[in-house]
Structure 1
Amino acid sequence: MKEREKEAREREARYSNGHLFTSLTVSATTLCSACNKSITAKEALSCPTCNVTIHNRCRDTLANCAKMKQKQQKLALVRNNSALQNVALRTKTPMMKERPSSAIYPSDSLRQSLLGSRRVRSGLSLSKSVSTQNLAGNLNDDSPLGLRRILSQSTDSLNFRNRAMSMESLNDEGEVYYAAMLEELEREGKDFEADSWSRAVDPSYLQTHRKDVIKRQDVIYELIQTEFHHVRTLRIMEGVFRQGMLDEVLLEPGVAHAVFPCLEQLMALHTHFLSQLMTRRTHSLAPGSGTNFTINQLGDILTEQFSGQCADEMRKAYAEFCSRHPKAVKLYKELLARDKRFQHFIRRVSRGPLLRRHGIQECILLVTQRITKYPVLIQRILDNTKGSEEEAQSLAQSLSLIRDLLSSVDQQVAELERTQRLQEIRARLDPRAQAEVRGGGVFRGGELLRRTLLHEGTLLWKTQGSRLKDVQVLLMTDILVFMQEKDQKYFFPCIDKPAVLSLKNLIVRDIANQERGMFLISDSTPPEMYELHGASRDDRNNWMRLIQQTVSSCPSREDFPLIETEDKALLRRLRGTTSSPLLTLLHPSLSISIQNSLSLLPLSLSLSQAAVIHQDSVLELRLHEGTGPASSGLDAGMVAAMGEMAMLQKQHDLLQEEVVRLRPLEARLRDSERTRAQLEQQIRDNKGRRGRRGRRGSRVSNEDIVVDVTALEQVSKVTSGRGLCMSSVGVWGRVCLGLGRLTVLTPNV
């Protein structure tokens, strides 16, 4: 009895809501059709009738099986039709999926009366045929009862079919989605279906080669094969996922780029590399054969790929792609959880045999790992290269290049990740958080962003009373920052010592008899001593090594102040305008004009230098004229006259050279004056428009911030070696920033 009850419960569970559920092993990316959450292999149920996959716990919440209901309606329709002996039904082959039109219209005369003389299509659907409302509306009470029942059931079936059409189209079209591109990829990969070169070539051709040659060709074949697979992965990411996200899911281009960053650059790089390898394979084919090949030289292609401009592009592309890998996967999961269209799109494209193994997460991971495969493959090719010294040297060079490239990519990825981490810390820092520093001043969150994060970790800070506090320590360009976390927010700890420690002349010492402790002794007056403890001895040693390295390269306080005042921050930003997009605060078109005006400083210095040289020459000539001997003989007068003539000739030649050199600069100066006039006019126009807006809306302060920047350092560089006095050259650049406007005037001589 108990066994029968158990079987009945299992049968009821399997046939819940008309579904015929069976246990199924699924991948981690499969989503439940009821709750749209991921399914594990232990709780997956699938209905082969309607191709629905759900959790075991979600089977009661699922709607009735669509195809099972259609079957039941068809059976009911057949039973009703059998009762109508006087209705002539038109036969139709059982292979057709569509319901016969005769099942809806029992006779041709009735069909003509309802639909007129319009030609009935074989694929009847609601969107392209008669409306069910009109169909039901043409019946009256005098119509036969059986006919009305048949038409009612038929219209219900058509309405249900219209509602279920979207899901059926997903199931039916998933197999052929992007079929043309996938078939092309499979067709291109037929030459590399074999597992190795030994199985790809003919056995008779294989027997003509030595064992070391066979091993070398196997590795070369693996390199080409894996490169082809990598290009195929990139093409799937571009042609299937990214294009589908833009065209079908209608996501913003920025979202698609965030999921697949630098995809175009990677496609171009690896497509070119693969074409080079395939061309070398074609040139290495045996005469009269399309499959037998032996590649004797490959180092030149590898050296070209991993050096020069190509290496720089690979470094930039992979550094950005790998650094954005975590955010891309996180964004993909968020889209999959909240966007229904994206969920349907992923389900549809994942039904194919090729795309089932290439989900978005798998593709992103494969791309990040590809660059790490090259050193291993090239090393194996080099180990099996014998008898060709030139090829061995070329392979060794390419191996060194790819290792340097990989190291550079790792370094850039680490820097980008640290930058992102610093921005995250700054965003989570309490807006009211501030820390007092030695020598006066307040350290706020904005000071973090003008520094570089070098290392981050958790240490134990021993305070008064032998208490140990967990602190988050940031090792930056010139400081150590101690923070604590509470309620997902960072703040500076309130302890007897400052939470910001300068690394200038910092002393790092380990603690005797404590393998995890270290002392940090500051260079302040009086000196401060911090006692910190790591999680282990290795952790302590790593911190000590990194801190000592940073102390040795710490910048001076004159070049990099501990606390940057507002005027110094403004000066730093203004000095960096020639290499930063700060000038876009006004208008993008003003950037070029202001940069041209700033570039006139060396020109003005050159003009000032020429004027000073001319004045010194005239002064020297007059001094010689005024201090000549009052009375001298004829020979002495002749000698003095010749000396003066030589000096005048020298000064004349010098002035001629200066005039020739300054002529093109004069034209540039006139152009710059015109540019300055246009810039001032644009600023006046902007001021007028801003004033009109201010009268209509909120008012703005009329106070201007004027910063005078003297170019004494540049003048000293130009005039040093000429023996000129600094006071003889008056050059000032005036930069005015006020009311949202930025005015740059050319230097005045």
Structure 2
Amino acid sequence: MKVSTRDTAAERERNSQFLVMLYRDLCYLHADMFKNLSAKETKKHFGDFYNSFLDKGAILRVSVPVHVSNELDRTRPELLSEDQQRRYAQEVQNMQTMEVLRQLEDFRQKRMMGMTPNEHELSQVENHYQTDRVPREMKEKAVAEMLLERLLEANPDVASLPEGTLTASSSGPSLQQEEVEPRLLELEQDPPNWRELASSEVLSKLSKKEMKRQEVINELFATEHAHVRMLSVLQTVFYRPLEREEIMSTTELDAIFPSLDDIIDLHCKSVLHSNLKRLRQEDGFVVKTISTPLLNRFNGSEGDWFQKLAARFCSHQSWALDLIKSRQKKDPRFNAFILDAESKPQCRRLQLKDIIPIEMQRLTKYPLLLENIAKSTEDNAERENIQQAAECCRKILNHVNEEVKYMENLLTLKDYQRRLDTSGLKPSNELYLEYKNFDLTTRSMLYEGALTWRVTKEKAIDVQGVLLGDLLVLLQKQDDKMLLKCQSKSIIAAQEGKQMLSPIIKLDSAFLREVATDRKAFYVIFTWDSGAQIYELVAQSVGERKLFFLSSRLQPPLSPIENGADPLKNNAGKNLYCFFSF
């Protein structure tokens, strides 16, 4: 059927008039938000309100009281006081009130006469059964967005609204200007439970085991949704404002939130989140197969990219938390910003230090969720594929754990290096010359633990044992310093610089044996150029000492009679490593 040009023009005219009314309604709602804004928020949002509705060049220009228009012509909007801004917003809203009421009355009359377009969608809203998961406001929002999308498709010449036009409901804004992306608005609402969306007919046909399976799949989707939401909080509430207000440099922010944008995109646009959402809708909210998106997400190139990003982000979290804590103490402006940001409703009463670790926490949940889905899956091939995806998750988690451990160890070594004092090596000139420029950070730390160094029966020193693979370093804490200090078994030997015990033990020339009289203690026998040195070191508990034997996976230590120097030299490093791995 051919549509005449006149009919098309008339339709466009009606749509154009409707959009004018829509803009008026948007202005009314936006003005209503100022009733619940703080002084600081009022300053921020009035600029958007002016640019969208009051400025003479605004695309959504509405009628403005003459005295308000004259005042805005004379004074820049940002120079007005908060009270003036609120008053002007109220007066603009009052001017729209009569027209909004007229529209509502016109709508009621047309509906009584059966002349209302989109009657089916409106009936869905009216007949919606409200629950905690799916409140009426959420249903209204979904229908309104759908109708607006249809309208904009029919009128592509008004399809791009200015940024910041409307960022929240009339109850008050929850998102800032940079957060008007539909994705972020959607994330603010928890997704409805699958039981509430699936039909009663479909539910009645499911077995008890399949119901359990759908519950876990729903949990996977809902928790992924919540996770992306909190990652977006890091981006929109902290990262972007800190950068925009120049409180921190981009370099500093990228160090605290490494690859944050990529992490969010991966979670939000990845096959896991998007495909789960699609599968729920296509299958009537009962997901039949899920293994393919899971394998695509955690295996192959997608899994490798996820592993790389997660490792980069999570490995910096300890450093980031320390930096934030230190910066808050030293920088009042930064501290004020963090406290203000943490008070926003998007943070859900969580502090920044609670939000940063969420990616690592999420990684630990994936294997458990996937295993639970597999347990309730009856199809053998589907179950095996889900179990394979769970195994891929575990490998990613193990890799990230190793990266986190490596970075935490490196940060510990950097802290020790900053506080390192080698002046205690001077009694032994040979040691001092070799280790005066000793740099702990050039080695990888395998473990560290508190020990007691029994130099003699009368002399015991608390030390921090740091295992560096090829070296065992015994550091003494003194105020803010970490001392490398030689010890002597006698005052005379110390005065003559002889028989000094080095705080640095080379593991390739050392072996150990147990101490028969103390279950927590062990000897380290170190062969030095000038002879052998014997160290007696004591762990913190019998349990820690026992863990050394359980973790070693080697033959039990030789008895004092069997324990010679040569047989254990090759395993000395391994024995020490196992001890410090408790």
Same fold (TM over 0.5): yes
CA drift at 1:366: 1.9
Aligned AA (1:409): V
1:282 paired residue number: 278
Match of 1:188 in 2: 186
Correspondences of 1:330-729 after superposition (within 5 Å) = 330-337=322-329, 339=331, 341-342=333-334, 345-346=337-338, 349=341, 352-357=344-349, 359-386=351-378, 388-430=379-421, 432-434=423-425, 436=428, 442-496=434-488, 497-524=501-528, 526-542=531-547, 552=570
Distance 2:248 2:451 in 1: 44
Tell me if the contact between 2:198 and 2:286 (Cα under 8 Å) persists in the aligned partners. Answer: no
CA distance, structure 2, for counterparts of residue 264 and residue 160 of structure 1: 34
Q: Which of structures 1 and 2 has the larger relative contact order (alpha carbons within 8 angstroms, sep 6+)?
A: 2
Q: What is the Cα deviation at residue 226 of structure 1? A: 1.3
Shift of 1:161: 6.7
User: What CA deviation, in whole Å up to 9, does each residue of 1:452-476 have, x standing for no partner?
Assistant: 2111111111113432111121111
User: How many Å separate the matches in 1 of 2:227 and 2:82?
Assistant: 44
SS of corresponding position for 1:442: helix
Amino acid at match of 1:412: E
1:686-712 superposed Cα distances (whole Å, 9 cap, x missing partner): xxxxxxxxxxxxxxxxxxxxxxxxxxx
Distance 1:534 1:551 in 2: 22
Q: C-alpha offsets along residues 659-688 of structure 1, whole Å, 9 cap, x if unaligned?
A: xxxxxxxxxxxxxxxxxxxxxxxxxxxxxx
Give 4+ residue runs of structure 1 displaced > 6 Å after superposition: 48-52, 158-162, 437-440, 544-551
Q: 1: CA distance between counterparts of 2:293 and 2:81?
A: 63
Provide TM-score, normalisation by structure 2. Answer: 0.60
- Retained in 1: the 8 A contact 2:374–2:387? yes
Q: Give 1:269's aligned amino acid.
A: L
Gaps of 5+ in 1: 1-47, 53-118, 130-157, 166-171, 556-749
Does structure 1 conserve the Cα–Cα contact (< 8 Å) formed by 2:36 and 2:171? Answer: no
Q: One-letter code of the match for 2:278? A: T
Worse-superposed segment, 174-183 or 253-262: 174-183
Aligned mates of 2:236, 2:36 — CA distance in 1 = 32
Counterparts of 1:247-326 in structure 2, within 5 Å, are 247-273=244-270, 275-279=271-275, 281-283=277-279, 285=281, 292-326=284-318
Question: Structure 1 352/519 Cα, relative in aligned 2: closer, same or farther at 3 Å?
Answer: closer
SS of structure 2 residue aligned to 1:226:
helix
What is the CA–CA distance in structure 2 between the aligned matches of 1:395 and 1:282, rounded to whole Å?
18
Q: Is contact 1:433–1:445 with CA below 8 Å preserved after alignment? A: no
The answer to whether residue 173 in structure 2 is matched with residue 175 in structure 1 is yes
What are the superposed Cα offsets for residues 135-189 of structure 1, whole Å, 9 maximum, x if unpaired? Answer: xxxxxxxxxxxxxxxxxxxxxxx99979x99xxxxxx998354167368346535
Aligned residue for 2:540, secondary structure, equals coil
Matched residue, 2:149: none
Does the Cα contact within 8 Å between 1:474 and 1:482 map onto a contact in 2?
yes
Measured in 1, the distance between the counterparts of 2:348 and 2:518 equals 55
CA deviation profile, 1:357-411 (whole Å, cap 9, x unmatched)? 454333213222111110110011011011x111111111111111122112112
Per-residue CA deviations over 1:554-574 (Å, capped at 9, x if unaligned) read: 89xxxxxxxxxxxxxxxxxxx
The whole-number CA distance in structure 2 between the counterparts of 1:266 and 1:438 is 51
Please report how far the alpha carbon of residue 514 of structure 1 lies from its aligned counterpart in structure 2 after TM superposition. Answer: 1.3
1:92-135 deviation digits (Å, cap 9, x = unpaired): xxxxxxxxxxxxxxxxxxxxxxxxxxx85369599829xxxxxx
TM-superposed CA distance for 1:221, in Å, is 1.4
8 Å Cα contact 2:476-2:485 kept in structure 1: yes
Q: Distance in 2 between the 1:447 and 1:366 partners?
A: 34
Amino acid at match of 2:396: L
Contact 1:281/1:293 (CA < 8 Å) preserved in 2?
Answer: no
TM-score by length of 1: 0.48
The size of the alignment, in residue pairs, is 404
The offset of 1:506, in angstroms, is: 2.1
| Aligned equivalents of 2:451, 2:229: Cα separation in 1 | 46
Q: Which runs of 5+ in 2 are unaligned?
A: 1-34, 40-65, 88-169, 489-500, 555-567, 574-582
CA distance in 1, matches of 2:463, 2:424: 15
Q: Distance in 1 between matches of 2:420 and 2:172?
A: 47
Could you tell me how far 1:197 is from its partner in structure 2? 2.5
Identity %: 25
More helix by share: 2
Over 3 Å counting, the alpha-carbon distance change for 1:174 and 1:403 in structure 2 is: same
Q: Residues 572-622 of structure 1: CA distance to partner in whole angstroms, max 9, x if unpaired?
A: xxxxxxxxxxxxxxxxxxxxxxxxxxxxxxxxxxxxxxxxxxxxxxxxxxx
Q: Contact between 1:284 and 1:293, CA under 8 Å: does it hold in 2?
A: yes
Pair 1:545–1:429, CA change in 2 (3 A): farther
Flag the structure with larger Rg: 1
Q: CA RMSD in A?
A: 4.1
